[in-house]
């Protein structure tokens, strides 16, 4: 009998994102361009509703936000989001490494940062559906 049943963890069962939150991600990524934007995702009852920005970790070094010692100890955090100014909406090797180590769901948004310029991935780097809800 496992000490903790991860299959019953609602963090492993994120199904949707609020339209408002997605719009905020796309707008922030656009305004940060050509730098990369990054943040953590907070969810409640299977819905991503909020971004968490960590001070001092957003600009500069590529993927700096994801240095592991900066990761929040917060049980409502379900994963990460970051932008690809290059326009490729799929994870790099460094992204896959991060996804494996942290979180349940990860969003990548890409240039030109319009309504369809994003994709969601699980911890193994497989693309997975995420419904946009109001
Ligand atoms: Zn990336």
Between 25 and 11, the higher pLDDT residue: 25
> How many structural domains compose the chain?
1
Are 31 and 77 spatial neighbours (Cβ–Cβ below 8 Å)? no
Q: Ligand 1 centre from 109 Cα, in Å?
A: 9
CA distance 72 to 77: 8
CA distance 134 to 132: 7
| Residue-wise pLDDT tens digits, 21-75 | 999 999 999 998 988 888 889 998 899 999 987 655 444 445 545 555 566 667 7
Give a yes or no: residue 61 inside a domain.
yes
Tokens of 1: 């009998």
Work out the pLDDT band at 17, boundaries 50, 70, 90.
Answer: very high
Which pLDDT score, from 0 to 100, does residue 58 have?
Answer: 47
Q: Ligand 1 centre from 91 Cα, in Å?
A: 5
Give a yes or no: residue 60 inside a domain.
yes
Give a yes or no: residue 66 inside a domain.
yes
Give a yes or no: residue 4 inside a domain.
no
Range of the domain at 62: 19-133
Q: Ligand 1 centre from 133 Cα, in Å?
A: 25
C-alpha separations of 86 from 3, 29, 35, 110 in Å: 43, 12, 10, 7
* CATH number of the domain bearing residue 88: 3.40.140.10
Give a yes or no: residue 114 inside a domain.
yes
| Residue-wise pLDDT tens digits, 72-114 | 667 788 999 999 998 899 999 888 988 888 889 999 999 999 9
Give a yes or no: residue 84 inside a domain.
yes
Give a yes or no: residue 116 inside a domain.
yes
Q: Which helix (H) or strand (E) holds 49?
A: strand 47-52
Q: Token pair 């496992």 is at which residue?
A: 2
Catalytic residue numbers read 36
Are 15 and 130 spatial neighbours (Cβ–Cβ below 8 Å)? yes
Give a yes or no: residue 10 inside a domain.
no
């Amino acid at each position: 009998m496992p000490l903790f049943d991860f299959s019953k963890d609602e963090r492993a069962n994120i199904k949707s994102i609020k339209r408002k939150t997605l719009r905020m991600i796309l707008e922030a990524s656009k305004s940060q361009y050509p730098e990369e934007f990054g943040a953590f995702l907070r969810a409640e009852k299977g819905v991503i509703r909020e971004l968490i920005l960590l001070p001092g970790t957003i600009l500069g070094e590529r993927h700096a936000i994801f240095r592991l010692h900066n990761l929040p100890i917060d049980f409502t955090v379900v994963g990460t989001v970051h932008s690809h100014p290059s326009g490729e909406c799929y994870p790099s090797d460094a992204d896959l490494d991060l996804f494996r180590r942290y979180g349940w769901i990860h969003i990548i948004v890409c240039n030109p940062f319009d309504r369809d310029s994003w994709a969601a991935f699980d911890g193994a780097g497989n693309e997975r559906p995420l419904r946009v809800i109001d």
